[in-house]
Amino acid sequence: MKICIIGQGYIGLPTAALFTKNHCEVVGVDVNEKVVETLNQGKIHIEEPGIGEIIKKAVEKGVYSASTTPVKADAFIITVPTPYIAENYTCDLSYVISACESILPYLEKGNTVIVESTIAPMSMDDYVKPIFEKAGYTIGKDLYLAHCPERVLPGKIMYELVHNDRIVGGITPECSIKASEVYGQFVEGALMKTEAKTAELSKCMENTFRDVNIALANELTKICTKIGVNALDVIEMANKHPRVNLHSPGPGVGGHCLAIDPYFIYSKAPEYAKIIKLARDTNNSMPEFVYENVKKITPNGKIAVLGVAYKGNTGDDRESPAYEIIAKLKEDNYEISICDPHVANEEYVDLKQATKDANLILILCDHDEFKDLDYDLIKENMEKAIIFDTKNIIKEVPEDIKLYNYGNLFSL
């Protein structure tokens, strides 16, 4: 089977790798010429375990190539970003629409087109289907169109793409069957056939479920900080109940999924999506909460920020709450030095430089490198060593280092 994948990012590239591993030929399309050049050299441009070697081999074997323009194929898979439009919280379909339009000249009767990008409910019926109908196709008869949202955890993408169950939402039942045949090339989880609109809403709801639960943990932290209870202990104790799973509080919710997808549902029915919106607002309020507590710990001086990625052990910093916290601190004339071994930026420094004469170490991301810090170095570098760990990753510190986390902010 020949597959053309539009968008060679965090989802498109690993998907391409897996198809090539399973006897398919793949052309990966990306608008970024530099990315295309890198990929054609057999190198990859994202941080995700397990992909590099497969792409290298596939390029050598001639079963993978990258291009800025699509080619004829049996199946087309669209994995481009869907940002949200801040003014009205709606889903920005412009990349998806232009990707669909870009494949029109290469389409042939009998082809399958799959949109993987997360999209608001009804997007396939209202916006995507008409593009192909206008081009003369009868969906379900001579072109098969489906929405099959990806559902993988960054850092574990290669495993989850193969083993997770997959929602296959066809415009017609025939479309679901054809799209299942495509994923059947490498997916070992169940291929659950349904309608496109059910697939769209299921995907958005998965991430909304997580966002709402994180908001609950963040709200609990604020309540505990006010009334003098250790929030982290409450979570640990409550989670011993077999049917309770309180999530972890943090500096806010980042990434391009949880921080965005709930708005796609909200914008469709704002009069009913009350919990969904409140959860978003609560999670969006966490940078301010972090900033206020930093101010209480040290009213001015130098802050060593550890981690700006949106989550641990990734170089992905999209929608990261760290940037809002840093902006607030800078506005308040704090000196900021940033250490993040996963995010490439010339201005970022190592732990030694970041902590030199700092008044506070502020942990905003749970990279493994931060779980066991060099405390001797820290004590040498800081006159009074204080750490504020917003991700609860540091379990113990030497006696002469002061540690704040979401369990003891009430003592400030």
Residues 104-133 binding ligand SAJ (CB under 6 A) are 118
Q: Which of 7, 169, 170, 254 binds ligand SAJ (CB under 6 A)?
A: 254
- By CB under 6 A, residue 392 contacts ligand SAJ: no
Q: Which residue among the candidates 4, 257, 339, 365 is catalytic per the annotation?
A: 257
Q: Which of 207, 230, 267, 282 binds ligand SAJ (CB under 6 A)?
A: 207
Active site residue 257: yes
Q: Which of 253, 361, 382, 394 binds ligand SAJ (CB under 6 A)?
A: 253
* Residue (of 401, 358, 402) closest to 349 by Cα position: 358
Active site residue 203: yes
> Nearest distance from residue 202's CB to ligand SAJ, in Å?
11
> Nearest distance from residue 390's CB to ligand SAJ, in Å?
9
Nearer to ligand SAJ, 70 or 149 (CB): 149
How far are the Cα atoms of 58, 312, 340, 393, 401 from residue 368, in angstroms, in the given order? 31, 7, 11, 9, 20
- By CB under 6 A, residue 255 contacts ligand SAJ: yes
Site string for ligand SAJ, 54-73 (x = CB under 6 A): --------------------
- By CB under 6 A, residue 2 contacts ligand SAJ: no
> Nearest distance from residue 211's CB to ligand SAJ, in Å?
8
- By CB under 6 A, residue 210 contacts ligand SAJ: yes
Interface stretch with ligand SAJ, choices 81-89, 184-192, 243-251, 403-411 (CB under 6 A): 243-251
- By CB under 6 A, residue 96 contacts ligand SAJ: no
Residues near ligand SAJ (CB under 6 A), total: 20
Interface stretch with ligand SAJ, choices 24-32, 65-73, 108-116, 152-160 (CB under 6 A): 152-160
Distance CA 137, CA 130 (A): 10
Interface stretch with ligand SAJ, choices 27-35, 62-70, 144-152, 179-187 (CB under 6 A): 144-152
* Residue (of 292, 294, 307, 311) closest to 214 by Cα position: 311
Q: List all residues 6 or more positions away from 312 whose beta carbon is below 8 Å from its beta carbon.
A: 155, 365, 366, 367, 368, 391, 393
- By CB under 6 A, residue 214 contacts ligand SAJ: yes
Nearer to ligand SAJ, 44 or 258 (CB): 258
What pairing do the DSSP bridges indicate for beta strands 144-147 and 166-170? antiparallel
Interface stretch with ligand SAJ, choices 33-41, 97-105, 171-179, 247-255 (CB under 6 A): 247-255
* Residue (of 307, 265, 248) closest to 89 by Cα position: 265
Nearer to ligand SAJ, 52 or 155 (CB): 155
Given the rule CB under 6 A, which residues bind ligand SAJ?
118, 150-154, 206-207, 210, 214, 247-248, 250, 253-255, 257-258, 310-311
Catalytic residue numbers?
Answer: 203, 257
